């Protein structure tokens, strides 16, 4: 009987070890995305100067549009709606609104957008003549 009991204990120990090894292997499997939406997560920055490479970032915000608008952008919902309507074309959104005039002063402000829009990598830079022109853009995307 002793050998049977010892054999049962050994078999139980091997079974537990096998199960522990199986759980380790199962947890090592790569995680799969469960989202039905393509990722849209952006970082927007603004700095004073003509080119992003030559400026210091003064402000930065995040904007995520899928599955729901979120981030630190002050008008995330409106910005995402405008980006969707413009099919992610940031140049269209940088056009000036006609209902407001700005002084003709050259004090350039550069805005950058980096991240992912509907699953595609984006990197965008636009220089406005001055802060008034940036705030006068057609879109709330640049109002941060």
**Confidence at residue 23, expressed as pLDDT on a 0 to 100 scale:** 46
Average pLDDT by stretches of 10, the chain with 144 residues:
48 46 48 64 96 94 93 96 94 84 92 95 96 90 92
Q: For residue 79, which of 34, 129, 113, 126 has the smallest C-alpha distance?
A: 113
| CA distance to 18, 35, 65, 75, 128, per residue, from 59 (Å) | 54, 30, 20, 15, 15
**Confidence at residue 21, expressed as pLDDT on a 0 to 100 scale:** 47
**Confidence at residue 39, expressed as pLDDT on a 0 to 100 scale:** 86
Beta-carbon count within 10 A of 144 CB: 20
């Amino acid at each position: 009987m002793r050998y049977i009991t010892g054999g049962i204990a050994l078999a139980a120990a091997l079974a537990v070890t096998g199960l522990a090894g199986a759980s380790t292997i199962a947890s090592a499997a790569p995680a799969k995305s469960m989202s039905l939406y393509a990722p849209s997560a952006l970082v927007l920055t603004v700095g004073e100067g003509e080119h992003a490479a030559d400026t210091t970032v003064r402000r930065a915000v995040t904007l995520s549009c899928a599955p729901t608008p979120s981030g630190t952008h002050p008008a995330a919902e409106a910005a995402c709606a405008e980006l969707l309507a413009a099919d992610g074309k940031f140049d269209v959104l940088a056009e000036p609104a006609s209902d407001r005039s700005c002084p003709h002063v050259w004090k350039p402000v550069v805005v950058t957008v980096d991240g992912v829009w509907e699953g595609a990598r984006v990197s965008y830079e636009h220089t406005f003549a001055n802060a008034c022109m940036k705030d006068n853009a057609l879109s709330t995307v640049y109002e941060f």
